[in-house]
Amino acid sequence: MGRTVQEWLQEADRVGRSGPFRPEWESLAHYQVPAWYQDAKFGIFIHWGGYSVPAFGNEWYPRDMYRPESPTFEHHRQTYGPQDQVGYKEILATFKAQHFDPDAWATLIRRSGAKFVIPVAEHHDGVAMYDTQLSEWSVVHKGPQRDLIGDLAAACRKQFLTVGASSHRAEHWWFYNGGMKVPSDVQDPQYADLYGPAMSKQSQPSAAFLDDWLARTCEMVDLLRPAVMYFDWWIEEPAFDSHFRRFLAYYYNRAAAWGSGVAVNYKIIWRPTQVPPTAAILDIERGQLADIRPLFWQTCTSVANNSWGYTEGNVYKPPRDIIHDLMDIVSKNGCLLLNIGPRADGTIPHEDQHILLEIGRWLGVNGDAVFDTRPWKVFGEGPTQVLAGEFMDTKRDPFTAQDIRFTTKDRTLYATLLGLPRGEAVIRSLSTSLRLYGHEIDRVELLGHPDPLPWTRDDRGLVVRLPETLPSDIAVVLKIVALPEPPRKVTAPPTD
């Protein structure tokens, strides 16, 4: 028998007072990003649940099926029946995950080159994808009757992948409120534990809802031991401030006791947040930054432009665009969390697999320019403008061969050429007149090519002669190796 909500609240406050952190922003602002996260650069997000069954619209199907203004409403009526006869609970009952193979998923993720994975442990629909003791509405008791996230986490750890978890529970306060305005099973009190308060989106959550949110989130930490906790945007609401601080203190102190480095993702979408920038890691949904951010940050986006979950009409991005975005993000001190959407039966669509494997092939050759690197003095050069902000990842022009992104490791500078340069590459940021690069160059290599390349350097820039055949048609990386520093002369101390 697990703890009750009240027992979890007591535990949260006990742990929140018994470690290096306290549930105040002044204390939480001293959090330090773990090195593993800054080194990893690339992770996989997974949206999977009952909403994968209809495979229509997007992962907000459970909400939109109760909203007459949404096309999903009529689709549901025509496909399944009226909402007061066939609700989301009936959809969930047909979510079986019968072909789910966590070891195969973990192998695919490892082959993508990703270093960590963050499955959605609970989406807005209020269904726990893990073995919660705080609700009957989990996949252990409904649908698949299996601890999906627990099994996936174990498989990924066997493949040396770092495992996080995502909680979208905050939005559950209002997620099903459409069902209160039309005849539906949302109004049936016996299903209140699934459909929740179903309150107005403009209202603030009650104390009871916030207490339940904190209890569930602390339980998730103890059950899954995630190295990253990802939160969606509604925890920005003022009502969450105290409970969010209590959670951060709990999680960070738990990690300190475990001796592991953890992280929390937060967003800024509709309003400035109360979270100090050093207390957690900024996540930008479907967007990027225009320049280097001194603090480490993250972009989350999906392989599909139209949905995070699986739908039969997913519009997929080319692997080239994702790799280009990865290099732009990493050059600006960020990392990329890339989402896939498995089918309801537990199989991963061919398109998702193709994208991940193409990224993995590219990283297999060029990963030295990505993993364990840090940003250089400037992120890059070239004509293509990247618009800063959320929901901007489909609004830029394609990168060109003149667009270059820099990363660095020790005394090595990596210059990733986005596009297909021919003949020669000119890196203007390495001009002798700019003085950005203060070392003497030993050699210039092309990752995936066996021999060093001819080069010259003057006030035009570093000019590198490229081979006729390039190792990639997506992007190529020049590895610029500095001469070793001359040994320092040791002067003997004067003798008497």
DSSP 213: H
User: Is 70 exceeded by the pLDDT of residue 1?
Assistant: no
The CATH number linked to 446 is 2.60.40.1180
Residue 489 domain-assigned (yes or no): no
Single out the residue of 106, 43, 47, 113 nearest to residue 334, CA to CA.
Answer: 43
Which range among 87-101, 259-273, 407-421 shows the weakest confidence by mean pLDDT? 259-273
Number of helices (H) and strands (E), helices first, in the chain?
13, 17
Residue 496 domain-assigned (yes or no): no
Q: Which structural domain, as residue segments, surrounds residue 111?
A: 5-369
Residue 215 domain-assigned (yes or no): yes
Instruction: Classify 361 as helix, strand or coil.
Output: helix
Q: Based on the fold, state whether residues 264 and 406 are members of the same structural domain.
A: no
DSSP 266: E
Q: Based on the fold, state whether residues 50 and 160 are members of the same structural domain.
A: yes
- Of 345, 369, 393, which marks where a domain is finished? 369
For all residues of the chain together, what is the average pLDDT?
Answer: 95
Q: Which pairs count as long-range contacts for 184-192, CB under 8 Å and 24+ apart, including other chains?
A: 184/66, 184/83, 184/84, 184/87, 185/83, 185/84, 185/87, 185/88, 185/89, 186/66, 186/83, 186/87, 191/87, 191/89
CA 218 vs. chain centroid, Å, equals 20
Residue 359 domain-assigned (yes or no): yes
Reported confidence tier of residue 494, pLDDT bands at 50, 70, 90 = low
Alpha helices in 332-469 (DSSP H): 350-366
Per the CB < 8 A criterion, the answer to whether 370 and 405 are in contact is no
Q: Based on the fold, state whether residues 359 and 394 are members of the same structural domain.
A: no
Number of domains in the chain: 2
pLDDT tens for 325-376 read: 999 999 999 999 999 999 999 999 999 999 999 999 999 999 999 999 999 9
273 or 103, greater pLDDT = 103
Give the pLDDT confidence score for residue 270 in this predicted structure: 54
The CATH number linked to 112 is 3.20.20.80
Q: Based on the fold, state whether residues 147 and 122 are members of the same structural domain.
A: yes
